[in-house]
Chain A
Amino acid sequence: MPNSSGYRAVVSARNLTKRFGDFTAVDGISFEIPAGESFGLLGPNGAGKSTIMRMLGGVSRRTSGELEVMGLDPERQGPEVRAHLGVVPQQDNLDEELRVRDNLIIYGRYFGLPMSYLRPKSAELLEFAQLGDKAGARIGELSGGMKRRLTIARSLINDPGILLLDEPTTGLDPQARHVLWDRLFRLKERGTTLVLTTHYMDEAEQLCDRLIVVDRGRIMAGGSPAELIRAHSSREVLELRFGAGRNASAAGALAGLGERIEVLPDRILVYADDGEAVLGQAVARGLEPATSLVRRSSLEDVFLRLTGRSLID
């Protein structure tokens, strides 16, 4: 559907709602994603991210609301919509009864793609996933990281215009994550629309042009990472640690400093545009923190501000 700014969104959700019994997992969510954008859903476990992704793929029926993917309702026109989607579910669901290469080939057959295309494509994707030497292995022989890379390679077999990635790097080691981010950047450069969920703020900051912060099935805020930080946090954060017993009393003594103070179990966060200056004022008040750190605000701070909770509990 064309919208006010003239572009046609490739994904458009209006009041999207999903109930399981009387529990509302997704509660009236609306968003639009233009072609080529990298769009994120950031939220803690149980926020409803995976449920939203399953509805986008047309494999879960919504309770109410409207949804269009590439102009069609994925629930009514599932096969046609999914021909253009690549899906990386949260849990790897590789076919354990087939070997590594056959996982790619057969998945391509599900899209009705011919062998003449699939043979070279599967070889190329195995290289992409750094699994070239595992082509004949059984799935059970792969490590967790290898399975994840194979699942991602598999999602690209039909050259999708939209890639749905549900927590693509959860459980991967830092190096594997960076490799994956690099691959996702390349896809983005080629014009692929990325929709990803994550509960890692650094991943959201790295990969997303725009994101929505979701909590308990509702949108708490939306915008680019920089916009969100500007709107919901200060430029910098001063992190102070006084040792377990003394945080509360120190917080009292800090009152009035910076824009806002957040007391966490292990540390105190002071939000301010100039963290060093606030640290100077704290020391001038006679406070002696065990450690102090000035850093830029992140999406984690945005989330804490919006919900009063951390992203990762």
Chain B
Amino acid sequence: MGPVHDGAPHLVPDGRPLAGLYSRNARAVIARGLLATRTSNWTVMVSGFFEPVLYLLSMGIGLGALVGEVAGPGGQEISYAAYIAPALLAVSAMNGAVYDSTWNVFFKLNFAKLYQNMLYTSLGPLDVAIGEIFLALLRGFLYATGFTVVMAALGLATSPWALLMVPASVLIAFGFAAVGMGITSFMTRFQQMDWIGFALLPMFLFSATFYPLTVYPEPVRWFIQALPLWHGVELLRQLGVGQVGPATLGHLAYYLVMAAAGLVLTTVRLRALFLR
């Protein structure tokens, strides 16, 4: 075996900021995630890709045949499928990120005890959080790329700007994952996780996903425009047809702030989340 110990040495405290929370080794958490996916759960991965594609086929192509053309972001007529496709991508980015940062984290924390075994090593909670968020974003990136390819193949992506939907989806996922993990730190029971689903479903249905916001009375409109998904839907929709302007930057800024706030919340709550 290894060297013989002359007892245990006394250590000098590492003065690096966040040394108690972070050992600069998030890549080990990422390596574990990739290996686990390859070993055990690649089927879940594949099914996650198909979900928005199936929605697009049934609602965009099927329902779209009834609806016909609708007004796009710049006022020009586009097919219904082209109208909802970016919205479906935003929803998929949101759902994936929220699932990974809430249910998945809660399960690995309390049931699979995965984080317990990570935290008994020299990993700190911040390594675990960064690694898990990165894995969620990588997954989101792959799904977004696949979905954008499908859109292009169906002739729904008409502008070169549409390529930017991929990084924009990753940013959307980042915002939701950072906030989601912070929220999970307040959860103590599985039942509380149901509240998250409760918040997501109406947001999915009403955030101008399937029809424009103009059908709502003014106060409802304001409320929806304050919620994150609407900004994601608008951001991707504008990129999808290349109608880029100051509003696009506004939506981007919304997510940058959301991600930053989520990261601060998550970092502050790391001890509460992981060290109970």
Contacts and interface: CB of A to CB of B under 8 A. Distances in A.
Interface of A: 8, 10, 34-36, 57-61, 70-72, 75-85, 87, 89, 91, 93-99, 102, 106-107, 109-112, 121, 124, 128, 156, 158-159, 161-162, 190-193
Contact of B275 (A61, A107, A124): A61
B189 interface: no
Contact of A190 (B4, B117, B118): B4
A90 to B, nearest CB: 11
A91 B113 contact: yes
A191 B7 contact: yes
A177 B59 CA distance: 62
Interface string B3-31: 11111111111100001111101001101
A58 B11 CA distance: 15
Interface stretch (B121-129, B163-171, B173-181): B121-129
B24 to A, nearest CB: 8
Contacts of B40: 96-98
A75 B125 CA distance: 12
Given A85-B120, A87-B120, A109-B31, 16 more contacts: A35-B8, A59-B275, A70-B8, A70-B11, A77-B13, A78-B20, A81-B11, A82-B120, A84-B11, A91-B113, A106-B35, A110-B25, A111-B122, A159-B1, A191-B4, A192-B5
Given A89-B116, A110-B121, A191-B5, A80 B11 contact: yes
A68 to B, nearest CB: 9
A93 B112 CA distance: 8
Contacts of A36: 5, 7
A98 B8 contact: no
A51 B104 CA distance: 26
Contact of A97 (B20, B41, B123): B41
Nearest to B20: A76
Q: How large, as a class, is the contact surface on chain B? A: 35 or more
Given A89-B120, A107-B117, A112 B25 contact: yes
Nearest to A110: B121
B43 interface: no
A159 B12 CA distance: 19
B10 A106 contact: no
Interface of B: 1-14, 19-23, 25, 28-29, 31-32, 35-36, 39-41, 112-114, 116-124, 127, 271, 274-276
A302 B14 CA distance: 43
A95 B33 CA distance: 11
Nearest to A71: B10
Contacts of A82: 120-122
B4 A95 contact: no
Contacts of A8: 10
A57 B120 contact: yes
B276 A97 contact: no
Contacts of A191: 4-7
B132 to A, nearest CB: 14
B117 A80 contact: no
A35 B11 CA distance: 13
Contact of B123 (A79, A91, A121): A79
Contacts of A95: 32, 36, 114, 117
